[in-house]
């Protein structure tokens, strides 16, 4: 058996630059891996089989892990099979990239499990076909995503930081989030803010004062639950607070691990799930994925 940790991400910066000719939106975003994770188990089996725990209402055929496994099997044709068990912990549809991370963990885990060496360009292509965020999870750490987010460029990594993630039990439609944006307000300013953010990362610091997310301008007014979670983290003493992706999760950075744990313990609401977490470098991401 092989166990694979499937880590979540937050977006330290996210700018939506406009709609492309293919109908997708052009974005610039800075991804950051965190140690909040789901877990995959891979067991020997003569055929591909899949089961998922804690994700009701999603069939095997709809699950992105199953799609990833089938795509890789078709590409490398090992004929070895695997029993794949996905144990969910990261809330789905929360802007933390849980499904995308699961798909990438399945691709990387099955390559190791089957003992196949798939060229980087080929596995990147499979990942991009599954979803815009999936290619980032083949790398982990801190990275710039451009295009739809699928074109990945590693960025300098800062010292490990401590945070709390709060996931209100609501779902924000990504399509709704894009439709509600005023692109005239986001395009030019967002590109400049991303450039400044990356420049500060290259100087060796994590610019907490510069974190931003274009989706907040439309999502926060429409969803008081997300505003309340953000306000809670600010009252708990977070150094900076932001919504991740198109929501619904928010995360706040704290000065040390003890402060983050205390804030997480105080986040007691039936409508919230709260998680203390740490940022992961690219090296830590892979060490802990298969550790």
Residue 82 belongs to domain with CATH number = 3.30.230.10
5, 9, 67, 230: which one is catalytic?
Answer: 9
Helix (H) or strand (E) segment spanning residue 205? none
Q: Rounded to an integer, what distance in angstroms lies between the CA atom of residue 82 and that of residue 21?
A: 40
Ramachandran class of 80: left when φ > 0, alpha when ψ lies in -120 to 50, beta otherwise: alpha
- Check: CB of residue 211 under 8 Å from CB of residue 32: no
Are residues 216 and 199 part of one domain? yes
pLDDT, residue 187, reads 56
- What is the reported pLDDT for 83? 98
Instruction: Looking at the structure, tell me whether residues 270 and 182 fall in a common domain.
Output: yes
133 flagged as catalytic: yes
Are residues 268 and 177 part of one domain? yes
Which of 35, 36, 40, 149 lies closest to 102, judged by CA?
40
Domain stop point among 116, 133, 155 = 155
Is position 9 annotated as part of the catalytic site? yes
- Verify that 87 and 31 share a domain, yes or no: yes
In order of 71, 85, 109, 289, the CA distances from 136 in angstroms are 18, 22, 15, 14
pLDDT reported for residue 122: 96
Q: Do both 147 and 212 map to the same domain?
A: no
Which residues touch 103 (CB under 8 Å, ≥6 apart)?
64, 65, 67, 68, 127, 130, 131, 134, 137
The model's pTM is 0.94
| Host domain of residue 70 | 2-155
The answer as to whether 284 is a domain residue is no
Apex 161 CA angle, 34 and 103, nearest 5: 10
Are 222 and 79 in a shared domain? Answer: no
Same domain? 134 vs 176: no
Is-contact 4 109, C-beta < 8 A? yes
Which one from 38, 73, 133, 214 is the annotated catalytic residue?
A: 133
Query: Is 54 a member of any domain?
Result: yes
pLDDT tens for the chain, 291 residues: list them.
Answer: 999 999 999 999 999 988 888 878 889 999 999 999 999 999 999 999 999 998 888 899 999 999 999 999 999 977 889 999 999 999 988 999 999 999 999 999 999 999 999 999 999 999 999 999 999 999 999 999 999 999 999 999 999 999 999 999 998 887 888 888 876 655 567 778 899 999 999 888 889 999 999 999 989 999 999 999 999 999 999 999 999 999 899 999 999 999 999 999 999 898 999 999 999 999 999 999 997
Alpha-carbon dihedral of residues 26, 10, 156, 258, nearest 10 degrees?
Answer: 160
Residue length, the chain? 291
Kindly state whether residues 121 and 202 are assigned to the same domain: no
Q: Residue 180: what pLDDT?
A: 81
Confidence (pLDDT) at 240: 98
Rg (CA), the chain: 19
User: Same domain, yes or no, for 72 and 34?
Assistant: yes
pLDDT value at residue 54: 87
- Cα gap 91→99, rounded to integer Å: 9
Q: Are residues 148 and 172 in the same domain?
A: no
Q: Check whether residue 148 and residue 198 sit in a common domain.
A: no
Tell whether 15 and 107 lie within a shared domain: yes
Looking at the structure of the chain, the number of domains it has is 2
CATH number at residue 234: 3.30.70.890
Q: Is residue 291 part of a domain?
A: no
């Amino acid at each position: 058996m092989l166990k694979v940790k499937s880590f979540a991400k937050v977006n330290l910066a996210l700018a939506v630059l406009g709609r492309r000719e293919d109908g997708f939106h052009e974005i610039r975003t800075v991804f950051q891996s965190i140690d909040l994770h789901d877990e995959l188990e891979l067991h020997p089996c003569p055929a591909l089989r899949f089961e998922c725990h804690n994700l009701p209402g999603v069939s095997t055929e709809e699950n992105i892990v199953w799609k990833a496994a089938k795509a890789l099997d078709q590409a490398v044709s090992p004929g070895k099979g695997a029993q794949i068990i996905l144990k969910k912990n990261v809330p789905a549809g929360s802007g933390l990239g849980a499904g995308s991370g699961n798909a990438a963990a399945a691709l990387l885990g099955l390559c190791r499990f089957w003992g196949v060496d798939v060229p980087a360009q080929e596995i990147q292509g499979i990942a991009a076909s599954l979803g815009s965020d999936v290619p980032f999870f083949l790398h982990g750490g801190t990275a710039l995503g451009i295009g739809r987010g699928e074109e990945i460029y590693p960025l300098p990594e800062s010292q490990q930081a401590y945070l709390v993630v709060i996931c209100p039990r609501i779902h924000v439609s990504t399509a709704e989030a894009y439709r509600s944006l005023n692109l005239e307000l986001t395009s030019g300013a967002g590109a400049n803010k991303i450039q400044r953010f990356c420049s500060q990362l290259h100087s060796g610091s994590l610019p907490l004062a510069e974190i931003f997310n274009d989706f907040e301008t439309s999502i926060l007014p429409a969803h008081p639950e997300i505003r309340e979670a953000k306000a809670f983290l600010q009252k708990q003493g977070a150094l900076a607070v932001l919504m991740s992706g198109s929501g619904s999760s928010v995360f706040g950075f704290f000065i040390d691990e003890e402060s983050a744990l205390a804030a997480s313990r105080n986040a007691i609401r039936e409508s919230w799930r709260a998680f203390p977490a740490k940022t992961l470098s690219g090296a830590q991401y892979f060490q802990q994925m298969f550790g």
